[in-house]
Amino acid sequence: METYNQTTDKLNHTQNHRFFRDDEFWRSIPGWQSITSDQFGDYRWQLKNSIASIDKIKELLKHRISDQILEDCKRAFDLFPIDLRITPYIFSLIDWDNPIDDPLRRQFLPLASQFQKNHPFVLKDSLFEEADSPINHLVHRYPDKVLFLALGKCPLYCSYCTRSRLIGGSSRNGRKQSISPGLSDFETMFDYIRSHNQIEDVVISGGDVSLLSSDLIRLIGKTLLDIDHIRRIRYATKSLAVLPMKILSDDDWFRALIEMNEMGRKRDKQVCIHTHFSSPCEISEWSPQAAERFFREGMIVRNQTVFQQGVNTRIDVMGLLIKQLGYMNVQPYYVFLLDMVPGIEHLRTTLRDAAEMEKSMRGLTSGFNIPDFACDLPTGGGKQHVSSYDYYNEETGISVWRSPAVKPGKAFFYFDPVHRLSFDAQQRWKDDKQRILMLREALSHGSPDLNPDPLYGVLV
């Protein structure tokens, strides 16, 4: 992991967490030199001008991007499962003088030259969401909370998307199913929730709620709040980080969320927003303004970050992000290790990196603004604190976990990226027999009484 004092000039302008850049940064994009602040601040302009092809990148950047980088982007499409879509807001916050190391470029525009071979245990549905879906579009893994997949669209695609099997159209790596529930699907989902009295909490996600119509926001919110046993609902949107203009300029959509919040409060129920910042470079003056608009209406906003190599693995960068979020009245809730899906090995970190980072963040600011660092366990164990594993062998990169509240009878594994292991360990990972021996060894130390999923081939 990079160390504290490797601070680059690039971040110096944001070292102060109370300072948010308010320049017309998009005008440095040759194609947008004459775009005014009013145009740029209109969410419709943002959506219409999203970047969804390499040709568009070339057209906008002209001489500011080299043919070599363009070629690198093009080749990435054959290797990574997710399609390209970037909002103009994020596109113009990328440092095009140094795109290789830019944390936003890294997250949303993969380069073939940075590709690392997939870990042998990556799965398209690493979290086993399908196995935990009693009906379509509803994941019921935990006793009292459900994940309600309301749509399959996002204003921007993250290369590391945990649902890349469903989100982002169909890339060259295969056609995808999509999440596109109709009204009758919603009825079935509501019926399921109504008939399961233990459910108190609904996460409305997908996809990104910023692309859900205000009518559907109201319909879903009202129907859920009408169910007696529902006590908490959350709408999930990355728009604060990647399309703050949506919050600031789509009044009907914003009002729909606020109405749900007010309706909830009258019934002593919580309605909040969950958002997704991962880098201080995503934060400009537009972000605190958007956050403030929610705050003034009494809407709680919480943040979930994804811990990614070269994006937020430096202590000063993570510290700045957490302080900025707190300053904006956005509560840092989680920092997640990456889910083990295809095409993200170059972004993954070790479990040790995450545990060390959490330790470095403790005490930095108000305790309620220190996020939990968590690992959502492959094969459906749910979210566990990064230090709560039963066993962790840093030589083989294997950690063993249990999840008593979610799947009491099962053992779980998480794996550090193979390219971060010693040469010897990397050789062992190449050999099927050695791999099973390593898993058996870890299991015998961690949860000798429990079995992991049969896919690992190491039943005790």
- Whole-angstrom distance, CA of residue 113 vs CA of residue 171: 19
* Residue number, 11 or 203, with CB nearest to ligand PLP: 203
Rounded to the nearest whole angstrom, what is the least distance from the CB of residue 374 to ligand PLP in the complex? 8
Nearest to 329 by CA among 289, 281, 282, 279: 289
| Residue 141 C-beta: closest distance to ligand PLP, Å | 4
Tell me the closest approach of the beta carbon of residue 265 to ligand PLP, in angstroms: 20
Choose between 120 and 134: whose C-beta lies nearer to ligand PLP: 134
Rounded least distance, CB 129 to ligand PLP, Å: 7
Whichever of 139 and 240 has its CB closer to ligand PLP, that residue is 139
User: What is the rounded distance in angstroms from the CA atom of residue 150 to the CA atom of residue 163?
Assistant: 13
Closest to ligand PLP by CB, 85 or 141: 141
Report which of 309, 321, 304 is spatially closest to residue 237, judged by C-alpha positions.
Answer: 304
Binding site for ligand PLP (CB under 6 A): 139, 141-142, 145, 147, 203, 383
- 3 state DSSP class of 383: strand
Q: Which is nearer to ligand PLP, 142 or 186 (CB)?
A: 142
Q: Please choose, from the candidates 232, 301, 308, the residue with its C-alpha nearest in 3D space to the C-alpha of residue 268.
A: 232
Output phi, psi for 234, to 5 deg: -130, 140
Report in angstroms how near the CB of residue 158 gets to ligand PLP at its nearest: 16
Looking at the Cβ atoms of 147 and 245, the one nearer to ligand PLP is 147
CB 339 within 8 A of CB 376: yes
Distance CA 369, CA 372 (A): 9
Closest contact distance (angstroms) between CB of 145 and ligand PLP is 4
Phi-psi region of 241 (alpha: psi -120 to 50; beta: other; left: phi over 0): alpha
Closest CA to 165 of 154, 178, 182, 148: 178
